[in-house]
């Protein structure tokens, strides 16, 4: 009998991709997707541990299922992903009605574990080895994932896909739980990556975003040859059908010239670089153990801007890190004003048990101060983003059309002749315009007539007569 699966995903691109894999794997074994919890036989939460708030949300969602599980004891509830790896048995202690706990490195075992639960073996757990739990090779193997299963129907759009090139992280920034939950850094073999990109191209995928925690540190050595990210980009550029290549997230210290030149010279490579700086204070960067100074970051940014014409550079920041003074924060504020990022993701520091920070420093910046710094930095970044967007007024941009905009979806207007559509430029700017849904999946030209900090508004360029743009949806 067909079983129904409901899956909820929070967190980063890695989790989005992991969910795609899990669904593809279970579909192969006869599962179908359910639209909601009530219709599902198996309910999975793919979780994030990077900030406490993400975990609290998952535990609240589990709490709401307590009585539901009493009424439906046959439904299987599973917690998978980073919080499963970090909390392990604690998940069962906090929510004793959970049946399944699976870390991100063990997702391939889900079908077998579901069979065990159905066979009456009780709650099941599969997690990877801890960073000190044995020989490195064993630890690495226990964190490996199963990427080749691709399911276009599980992606937000079938013509865009994430492709993991690197697992884990070895940087050990003192605030970060990722090296614990995702294990040691390992580059995937280039042959596997290229084969997977071909599968994606055959499925109609036009844009691939390569993902890794420090994607530009990617290296794979075999038979005396080392493949770097720049080499991979050259190989992937040769695949017919793939029209855009992006990669996230970059680590400032590993932004080498060969990579910047590849981005400049390969027409399929988007000039979009997400390179988080995290703080503008050298004291804070040292305590974060980021491995660079503000001066190093500035030098890197200068090289990016000297090599790539009109690059879109974005960053992450943590405000209210342990011991962050007003002076430290001012330095961060000044750096944002100076660097003029396309946009920045700003996070309030969240202490994570198991990290060096939690061991070494006190989480001593009051919540209200974190909040104020967060708002001030966000306000500055929004102003910069809006000013930056102005230069697109009257310009044409190339857009990969993703689908109906949020507004069109909410209004249920995604089936008519002309609807509000959304897509992205090669530099990752969001563009909204009216057009026929048959444009979805196409790369088209859009003339921009209005901008906001994070969105460009325009009209489809359908015909050109001399200097005049005729734009009809
Ligand atoms: N690997 C990427 C890098 O090195 O930038 C990002 C990984 S992390 C999942 C994404 C962002 O979350 C980080 O860049 C950082 O700004 C933020 N982050 C990580 N740990 C955090 C913590 N304990 N509290 C607040 N923000 C955190
Ligand atoms: Fe976390 Fe630092 Fe690794 Fe990024 S580089 S995943 S912030 S430890």
How confident is the model over 115-125, as a mean pLDDT?
Answer: 97
Cβ count within 10 A of residue 286? 14
Q: How confident is the model at residue 148 (pLDDT cuts 50, 70, 90)?
A: confident
> Above pLDDT 90, what percent of the chain?
90
Q: pLDDT tens digits, residue range 63-109?
A: 999 999 999 999 999 999 999 999 999 999 999 999 999 999 999 99
Is the omega angle on the peptide bond into residue 249 within 30 degrees of 0, that is, cis?
yes
Atom 5 (ligand 1): residue with closest C-alpha? 276
Closest residue to atom 2 of ligand 2, CA basis: 173
Model pLDDT for residues 149-166, shown as the tens digit of each residue: 788 888 888 899 999 999
The bridge status of strand 244-248 relative to strand 272-274 is unpaired
Look at residue 411 in the predicted model and tell me its pLDDT.
75
Cross-strand partners of 43: 6, 77
pLDDT tens-place string over residues 45-66: 999 999 999 999 999 999 999 9
Least confident span in 107-121, 149-163, 352-366, 373-387? 149-163
Q: Which pLDDT score is estimated for 415? A: 61
The mean pLDDT value for 291-297 works out to 98
Substitution site in 248, 316, 359 for ligand 1 pocket (most atoms within 8 Å of beta carbon): 316
Q: Which of 214, 292, 347 to mutate to test the pocket of ligand 2 (most atoms within 8 A of CB)?
A: 214
Question: In the chain, what are the helix, strand and coil shares in percent, each to the nearest 5?
Answer: 40, 25, 35
State mean pLDDT over 446-462: 95
Q: Is the CB of 44 under 6 A from ligand 2?
A: no
pLDDT, tens only, 329-350: 999 999 999 999 999 999 999 9
**pLDDT at 416 (0 to 100):** 66
Residues shown for the chain? 473
Query: Which region among 141-155, 305-319, 426-440 has the lowest average model confidence (pLDDT)?
Result: 141-155
- Verify whether ligand 1 is closer than 6 Å to residue 50 (CB atom): yes
Kindly tell me if the per-residue pLDDT of 180 is higher than 80: yes
Using a 6 Å cutoff on CB, does residue 349 contact ligand 1? yes
pLDDT for 1: 75
Any ligand 1 atom below 6 A from CB of 174: no
| Span from the CA of 176 to the centroid of ligand 1 (angstroms) | 6
Residue 155: per-residue pLDDT: 86
Choosing from 291, 318, 324, 361 the residue with most ligand 1 atoms within 8 A of its CB, the one to mutate for a pocket test is 318
Task: Read off the pLDDT of residues 212-271 as tens digits, 9 standing for 90 and up.
Answer: 999 999 999 999 999 999 999 999 999 999 999 999 999 999 999 999 999 999 999 999
pLDDT for 413: 64
Question: What is the residue-averaged pLDDT of the chain?
Answer: 94
How far are the Cα atoms of 6, 106, 154, 311, 428 from residue 36, in angstroms, in the given order? 6, 25, 15, 42, 32
Q: Which helix (H) or strand (E) holds 264?
A: helix 257-265
Which tokens in the block code for residue 112?
Answer: 């077998």
Six-digit token pair at 179?
């090296």
Bridge partner list, 318? 347
Task: Give 405-423 pLDDT, tens digit per residue.
Answer: 988 877 766 566 889 999 9
Q: What is the DSSP letter of 391?
A: T
C-beta 179 within 6 A of ligand 2:
yes
- Provide the 3-class DSSP secondary structure of residue 372: helix
SS3 29: coil
Q: What is the pLDDT of residue 428?
A: 94
Mean pLDDT of 371-384: 98
Residue 7 has pLDDT above 50, yes or no: yes
């Amino acid at each position: 009998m067909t079983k129904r699966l409901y899956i909820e995903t929070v967190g980063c691109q890695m989790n989005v991709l992991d969910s795609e894999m899990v669904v593809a794997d279970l579909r192969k074994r006869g599962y179908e997707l359910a639209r909601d919890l009530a219709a599902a036989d198996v309910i999975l939460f793919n979780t994030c541990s990077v900030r406490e708030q993400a975990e609290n949300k998952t535990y609240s969602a589990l709490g709401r299922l307590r009585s539901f599980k009493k009424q439906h004891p046959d439904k299987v509830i599973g917690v998978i992903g980073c919080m499963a790896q970090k909390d392990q048995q604690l998940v069962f202690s906090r929510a004793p009605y959970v049946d399944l706990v699976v870390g991100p490195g063990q997702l391939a075992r889900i079908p077998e574990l579901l069979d065990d639960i159905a066979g009456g073996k009780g709650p099941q757990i599969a997690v990877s080895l801890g960073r000190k739990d044995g020989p490195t090779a064993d630890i690495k193997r226990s964190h490996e994932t199963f990427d080749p299963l691709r399911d276009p129907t599980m992606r937000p759009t079938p013509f865009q896909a994430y492709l993991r090139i690197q697992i884990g992280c070895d940087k050990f920034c003192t605030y970060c739980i990722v090296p614990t939950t995702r294990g040691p850094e390992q580059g995937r073999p280039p042959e596997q990556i290229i084969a997977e990109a071909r599968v994606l191209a055959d499925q109609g995928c036009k844009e691939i975003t390569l993902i890794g925690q420090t994607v530009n540190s990617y290296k794979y050595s075999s038979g005396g040859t080392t493949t770097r990210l720049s080499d991979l980009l050259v190989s992937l550029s040769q695949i017919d059908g793939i029209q855009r290549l992006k990669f996230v997230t970059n680590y400032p210290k590993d932004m080498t010239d060969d990579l910047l030149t590849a981005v400049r010279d390969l027409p399929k490579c988007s000039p979009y670089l997400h390179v988080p700086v995290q703080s503008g204070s050298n004291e804070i960067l040292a305590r974060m153990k980021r491995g660079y100074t503000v001066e190093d970051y500035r030098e890197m940014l200068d090289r990016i801007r000297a090599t790539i014409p009109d690059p879109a550079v974005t960053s992450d920041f943590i405000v209210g890190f342990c011991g962050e003074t007003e002076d430290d924060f001012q330095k961060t504020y000044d750096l944002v004003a100076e660097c003029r990022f396309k946009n920045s993701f700003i996070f309030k520091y969240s202490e994570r048990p198991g990290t060096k920070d939690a061991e070494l420093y006190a989480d001593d910046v009051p919540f209200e101060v974190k909040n104020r710094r967060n708002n001030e930095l966000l306000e500055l970044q929004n102003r910069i983003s809006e000013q930056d967007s102005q230069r697109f007024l009257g310009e044409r941009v190339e857009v990969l059309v993703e689908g109906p905009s949020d507004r069109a979806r909410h209004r249920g207007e995604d089936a008519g002749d002309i609807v509000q559509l959304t897509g992205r430029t090669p530099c990752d700017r969001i563009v909204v315009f009216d057009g026929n849904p048959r444009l979805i999946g196409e790369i088209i030209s859009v003339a921009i007539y209005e901008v906001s900090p994070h969105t460009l508004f325009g009209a489809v360029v359908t015909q050109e007569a001399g200097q005049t743009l005729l734009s009809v949806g």
